[in-house]
A and B are shown apart, each in its own frame.
Chain A
Amino acid sequence: MKINIHKILQAPSIILLLLWMIVPLGMTLYFSFQRYHLLYPERSGFAGLSNYDFFLTDPALGVSVLNTLTLVGGVIVISVILGLGISLLLQEAFRGRGIIRILLISPFFIMPTVNALMWKNMFMNPAYGLFAYISEIFGLPVVNWLAELPLLSIIIMLSWQWTPFALLIFMTSLQSMDQEQIEAAEIEGAGFWAKFRYLTLPHLGRAIGVVVMIQAIFHLGVFAEIYVTTGGGPGHDSTNTTWLIFKQALLAFDVGVASAGGVFAIIVANIIAFFLIKTVAKGMGK
């Protein structure tokens, strides 16, 4: 009886997601073996592996996978470390903490395209940007961020947006920390690091797992920020796998190759997720 009701409870989410996955994925798989070019509707039919062959021999493929990993890894490391640090600082009670918290979380509510356009135009622009101005004040050479350090620039934009997300999750999780345990540890003379290492970190394990997994999923598909800033360049310096697929889907309009790229992206994402689960996300579902 119990088992039945749980099947019923779980069914809607599983069935809907199954449909949501299988239908587009099935179509993507099918298209990936077809000649399907939006601008050549007359060309059709079975394409064999030629779409895969074309996508996988793209000269930028290797770089793009590397960039994808750097991007995902960089943003996760920065946002988790900063998020942890700030959430611990905010444990201290003081007047105006609510406002500070609000200010710190706000970047997460900004649209990704707005975020990228703002950084690009108002901060990183070498002629008018605030960074250029600050460099000038200190007599430093002006850095042309998006041309010289394109990937780092995008990592900065994403970290600015996603650190608040990590912070939000960590703060929520820290609320439920056992204060008595901490006080007991303090009485026994435990220092900050000891408390952090043996009490806080284990308590936050699951929260960190959630943050890492969700961010990994989002950053694997980063697109809007690249679209409005670097366009994947200069050269291929900020091209990730999603960008390669975008070029095939919305510049070349070759649905067949774009679909093959999509299948490739799923495989890469699953490999990354597999390793993430092995290392970080062990805390989940204990």
Chain B
Amino acid sequence: MIIGYRNMKRIKHQTTVLACCILAVIFFFPIFWMVLTSFKTELQAIQFPPVLFFEPTLENFSIINENSDYTKHALNSIITSLGATALAIIIAVPSAYSMAFFPGRYTKDILLWMLSTKMLPAVAVLMPIYLLAQWSNLLDTRIVLIFILAMMNLPIIMWLLFAYFKEIPKEILEASRMDGASTMEEIRYVVLPLAWGGIASAALLSIVLCWNEAFWTILLTAADAGTLTALVASYSMPEGLFWAKLSAASTLACAPIVVFGWFAQKQLVQGLTFGAVK
């Protein structure tokens, strides 16, 4: 009887592991295929049936390296993503703290209103934003991108932080307050350490969203501030065969953020402490 129970548990365990593996392969396969294609020649890339084994070539990467300034685009992506995220987090943490622990009569409405600022489709405000950027002489600068991306992500960061802060037991804060901590001290020494995982995940999300934003980063930039999305746009639909080159450009454009995401998520899922505190 006991053996049967153990067996069942083992089978259940093995099925779960197998299911996880299959799902992981399915979800990751497109990325794998893209990276694989980036090492093919253009003719191999369109071969049918598709080829799995071939002599890899670095030609696509060297073409991109020759024709485009990858470093400049990558640097712009890094600066705008980090800058916008930093700006948004710095603004959001105190507000979300205050709303989560000292909600007022309108807090919920304010949060919903914040999210509603994201409902205006970017295409509809292209002209207003373009004209504002032009009047303030900020077209094709990283400053304007940082500001826009920060404002775009601020509502989402507010929501996530609010939700995470809500999970922190109020008693802990009350205890610290009884010890005579000021509001700023409370944020710094109590809330921040407890909500580290929440803030990190909000920041991670914001960085990813900034990195992948492809409307403003293309339409407001020219030669100076173009990010990696602009690099991809320059390989997206040319004349002639382009799948392998596009795959290489995409691999280059996505690699930094994917690798960053890998490290970050490990930190994130392991480093979560809040909520578990009793």
Instruction: Mark A residues whose CB is within 8 Å of B.
Output: 2, 5-6, 9-10, 12-14, 16-17, 20-21, 23-25, 27-28, 31, 36, 38, 86, 89-90, 92, 94, 97-115, 117-119, 121-123, 127-128, 130, 132-133, 136, 160, 163-165, 168-169, 171-172, 175-176, 206-207, 210, 213-214, 217, 220-221, 223-224, 228, 241-242, 245-246, 249-250, 255, 258-259, 261-263, 265-266, 269-270, 273, 277, 284-285
Q: Are A112 and B214 in contact (CB under 8 A)?
A: yes
- B49 at the binding interface (Cβ < 8 Å): yes
Q: Which of B124, B158, B258 is A28 in contact with, Cβ under 8 Å?
A: B124
CA distance A222 to B102 in the complex (A): 35
Given known contacts A9-B94, A122-B37, A122-B243, is B119 in contact with A107 (CB within 8 Å)?
no
- B183 at the binding interface (Cβ < 8 Å): yes
The interface residues of chain A lying within 8 Å CB-to-CB of B243 are 121-122
A97 to chain B, nearest CB (A): 7
Q: Are A175 and B276 in contact (CB under 8 A)?
A: yes
Q: What size tier do the contact residues of chain B reach?
A: 35 or more
B204 to chain A, nearest CB (A): 9
Q: Are A92 and B16 in contact (CB under 8 A)?
A: yes
A52 to chain B, nearest CB (A): 13
Given known contacts A89-B23, A109-B258, A113-B232, is B274 in contact with A24 (CB within 8 Å)?
no
Q: Are A130 and B33 in contact (CB under 8 A)?
A: yes
7 contacts between A and B (CB under 8 A): A5-B183, A13-B114, A106-B28, A111-B253, A117-B236, A168-B205, A221-B118
> Which of B61-69, B137-145, B259-267 touches A?
B259-267
Q: Are A105 and B261 in contact (CB under 8 A)?
A: yes
Q: Is the interface of A mostly helix, strand, loop or mixed?
A: helix
- Chain B CB within 10 Å — which of A106, A214, A246, A263 has the most? A106
Q: Are B183 and A13 in contact (CB under 8 A)?
A: no
Q: Are B122 and A223 in contact (CB under 8 A)?
A: yes
Given known contacts A101-B265, A172-B272, A223-B122, is B95 in contact with A114 (CB within 8 Å)?
no
Q: Are B250 and A111 in contact (CB under 8 A)?
A: yes
